[in-house]
């Protein structure tokens, strides 16, 4: 069974998705139906009290009918209590799986897709859209289905009392259908516009919040405010239109329902006067009418929620049905990875429809345990080489081999778990320092973490923190300096004990003192393992076994530091520029 089928996401519409959940909600629905059946006889019992017990002044009958009502009410109460308990567990399990599936899908989306979509838009699908679907499903199982069933049974009970009550009760349905049909399409279109405007607004807000230091550093608060204001105004305009439609439908339906109520009371009163209906039947109808009309109101209100839910489901389906995912199908696992890497005539373009190539016919071979550095001007393809090696993207032409085996044949996740990367701006997750370091190896012991910290030259500053390794850090580790964050990232990589180590400009943003400490930690980390360094600051790669110089995606020269520094070329020019 496909994972989508297990949770109902293979269904094209929200209606199909909801139907697919019925097997998970059977326990609740059983008790909910029982609670509705328990109170269905109330109109008949009310009619008996008014038409039989009261005229005959029969106290025993009055007590008996009232006792039956209380007994049925107790059954209703007990059934609801049991049902609600079951629903709270079953419903949350459904939406926990839905959110988990969305997050799982995001983890497998192609980086080309992730690079082109704002984080806020994905967050909107994960948080807002799942919440809308949850509200819709809950309203159906707790409101719509039980209320429709109760109204249908009440109408049957009233027809049993007096057939004249049937047309009075059913007259509201066609009026409701006409109003609902008139408003359905405009509301559906408006909900879609609101959803898109919200995704754009949250996406831009997420970018500005993440880059708040950049915004303030350039003094561009007014620019950011203006852009956010425009998107907020657009969203407010769409919401204004949405609220007008929703409120219009609300007061129109209220007017229709009130008119029906007045009409029903007048007609039933006339029938009592003309002896075509008993007073008990009228009392029963007056008691049941608000319940049935409330169902109409609930249904009309739900139609708005359903449209929101349907739009949210379409939004999630756009993501879940997207074929823009990583295509790696390999399953081979290297039992003892050596760390050999070979690029064989590799060409790559981020946009296959354009002629620009980020990498052009690259052929290099990296031996196990060798330290190879890639240098070159900005845009030369250095970081792209790493992205290709890790399988973030697949070569347009040529192939990459790991230990002599085509990358496409390997389990890409097993390959990545044998690698570790230390970047220029290492992200620290919210939590403690211990959590962040252990992220590299979740099963690591405290002793292993401490050893990694010592080798990373991080113990010196961690010991000075109030709670040591249990100190909490912010969303992006803002409570630590750049050098401290780098040493935490190195400890994380050390703990992983990778076969291939990737250093992506790991020291380029540090001051001299921090760079010295970090470089010492990196030198220890690189011992005995294949190391690939993306370097901007050339002084950090003196110890590299080999340096590869790239320009416009092409390999233009290679050699040791001494060899390249002694001959004219791009490397010598870069070296001169830094001195």
Lowest mean pLDDT among 1-5, 116-120, 207-211, 550-554: 1-5
Which is nearest to 391 in space by CA: 417, 372, 361? 417
Q: How far apart are the first and last CA of the chain?
A: 62
The highest-confidence range among 229-238, 282-291, 297-306, 499-508, by mean pLDDT, is: 229-238
Confidence of residue 514 (pLDDT cuts 50, 70, 90): low
Own/partner contacts of 560-569, CB < 8 Å, gap of 24 or more, are none
Pairwise pLDDT comparison (447 vs 148), residue with the higher score: 447
Threshold 0.75, pTM exceeds: no
In 10 A of CB 173, how many CB atoms?
Answer: 13
What's the token pair of residue 384? 């792209």
Q: Are 179 and 260 in contact (CB under 8 A)?
A: no
Integer Cα distance of 359 and 346 in angstroms: 7
What's the token pair of residue 86? 């079951």
Q: What region, left, alpha or beta, does residue 80 occupy, with left being phi > 0 and alpha being psi -120 to 50 degrees?
A: alpha
284-298: average pLDDT: 73
Task: Give the 3-state secondary structure of residue 527.
Answer: coil
Q: Which pLDDT score, from 0 to 100, does residue 175 have?
A: 67
Query: Strand runs (DSSP E) across 200-261, as ranges?
Result: none
Pairwise pLDDT comparison (43 vs 550), residue with the higher score: 550
Q: Which pLDDT score, from 0 to 100, does residue 176 have?
A: 62
Which pLDDT tens digit goes with each residue over 417-445?
888 888 777 677 778 889 888 888 888 89
Confidence of residue 346 (pLDDT cuts 50, 70, 90): very high
Pairwise pLDDT comparison (563 vs 24), residue with the higher score: 563
Domains of the chain: 11-320 (1.20.1560.10), 341-578 (3.40.50.300)
Q: Which pLDDT score, from 0 to 100, does residue 2 have?
A: 47
Integer Cα distance of 55 and 416 in angstroms: 85
Q: Which pLDDT score, from 0 to 100, does residue 56 have?
A: 85
214-218: average pLDDT: 68
What's the token pair of residue 177? 């259908």
Which pLDDT tens digit goes with each residue over 364-396?
999 999 999 999 888 888 889 988 998 888 898
What's the token pair of residue 123? 């967050």
Own/partner contacts of 515-519, CB < 8 Å, gap of 24 or more, are 515/483, 515/540, 517/457, 517/483, 517/487, 518/457, 518/483, 518/486, 518/487, 518/490
The highest-confidence range among 59-68, 188-197, 481-490, by mean pLDDT, is: 59-68
What's the token pair of residue 391? 């399988």
Distant-in-sequence, close-in-space partners of 226: CB < 8 Å, separation ≥ 6:
none
Integer Cα distance of 494 and 455 in angstroms: 8
Q: Are 32 and 151 in contact (CB under 8 A)?
A: no
- What is the DSSP-derived secondary structure letter of residue 539? G
Length of the chain: 579
Q: Are 137 and 25 in contact (CB under 8 A)?
A: no
The residues facing 406 across adjacent strands are 401
Lowest mean pLDDT among 50-64, 519-533, 557-571: 519-533
242-251: average pLDDT: 81
Concatenated DSSP letters of 343-409: EEEEEE-SSTTSS--SEEEEEEEE-TT-EEEEE-STTSSHHHHHHHHTTSS--SEEEEEETTEEGGG
């Amino acid at each position: 069974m496909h994972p989508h089928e297990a949770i109902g996401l293979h269904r094209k519409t929200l209606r199909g998705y909801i139907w697919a959940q019925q097997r998970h909600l059977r326990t609740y629905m059983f008790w909910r139906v029982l609670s509705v059946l328990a109170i269905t006889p109330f109109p008949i019992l009310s009619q008996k009290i008014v038409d039989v017990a009261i005229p005959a002044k029969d106290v025993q009958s009055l007590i008996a009918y009232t006792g039956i009502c209380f007994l049925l009410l107790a059954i209703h109460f007990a059934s609801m209590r049991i049902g609600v308990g079951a629903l709270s567990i079953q419903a949350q399990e459904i939406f926990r799986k839905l959110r988990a599936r969305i997050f799982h899908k995001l983890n497998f989306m192609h980086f080309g897709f992730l690079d082109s979509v704002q984080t806020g838009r994905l967050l909107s699908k994960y948080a807002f859209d799942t919440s809308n679907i949850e509200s819709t499903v809950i309203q159906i199982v707790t409101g719509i289905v039980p209320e429709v069933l109760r109204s249908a049974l009440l109408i049957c009970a009233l027809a049993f009392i007096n057939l004249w009550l049937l047309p009075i009760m059913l007259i509201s349905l066609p009026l409701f259908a006409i109003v609902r049909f008139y408003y359905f399409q405009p509301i559906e279109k408006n909900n879609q516009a609101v959803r898109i405007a919200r995704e754009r607004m949250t996406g831009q807000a997420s970018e500005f919040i993440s880059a708040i230091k950049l915004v303030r550093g350039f003094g561009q608060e007014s620019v950011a405010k203006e852009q956010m204001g425009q998107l907020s105004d657009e969203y407010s305009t769409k919401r204004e239109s949405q609220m007008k439609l929703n409120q219009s439908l609300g007061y129109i339906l209220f007017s229709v329902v009130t008119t029906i109520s007045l009409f029903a009371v007048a007609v039933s009163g006339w029938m009592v006067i003309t002896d075509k209906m008993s007073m008990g039947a009228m009392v029963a109808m007056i008691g049941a009418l608000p319940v049935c009309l409330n169902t109409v109101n609930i249904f009309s209100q739900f139609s708005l929620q359903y449209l929101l839910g349907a739009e949210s489901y379409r939004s999630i389906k756009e993501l879940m049905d997207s074929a823009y995912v990583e295509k790696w199908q390999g399953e081979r696992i290297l039992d003892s990875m050596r760390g050999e890497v070979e690029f064989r005539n590799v060409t790559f373009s981020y946009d296959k429809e354009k002629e620009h190539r980020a990498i052009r016919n690259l052929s290099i071979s990296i031996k196990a345990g060798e330290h190879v550095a890639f240098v070159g001007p900005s845009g030369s393809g250095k970081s792209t080489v790493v992205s290709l090696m890790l399988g973030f993207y697949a070569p347009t032409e040529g192939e990459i081999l790991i230990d002599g085996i085509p990358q496409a044949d390997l389990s890409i996740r097993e390959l990545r778990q044998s690698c570790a990367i230390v970047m220029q701006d290492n992200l620290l997750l919210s939590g403690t320092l211990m959590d962040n370091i252990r992220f590299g190896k979740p099963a690591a012991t405290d002793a292993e973490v401490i050893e990694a910290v010592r080798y990373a030259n991080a113990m010196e500053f961690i010991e000075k923190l109030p709670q040591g390794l249990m100190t909490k850090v912010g969303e992006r580790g803002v409570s630590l300096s750049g050098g401290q964050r780098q040493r935490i990232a190195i400890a994380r990589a050390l703990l992983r004990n990778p076969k291939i180590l990737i250093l992506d400009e790991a020291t380029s943003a540090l001051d001299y003192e921090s760079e010295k400490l970090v470089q010492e930690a990196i030198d220890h980390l690189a011992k005995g393992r294949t190391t690939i360094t993306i370097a901007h600051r050339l002084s950090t790669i003196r110890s590299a076994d080999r340096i590869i110089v790239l320009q416009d995606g092409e390999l233009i020269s290679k050699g040791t530091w001494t060899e390249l520094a002694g001959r004219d070329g791009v490397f010598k020019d870069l070296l001169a520029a830094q001195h």
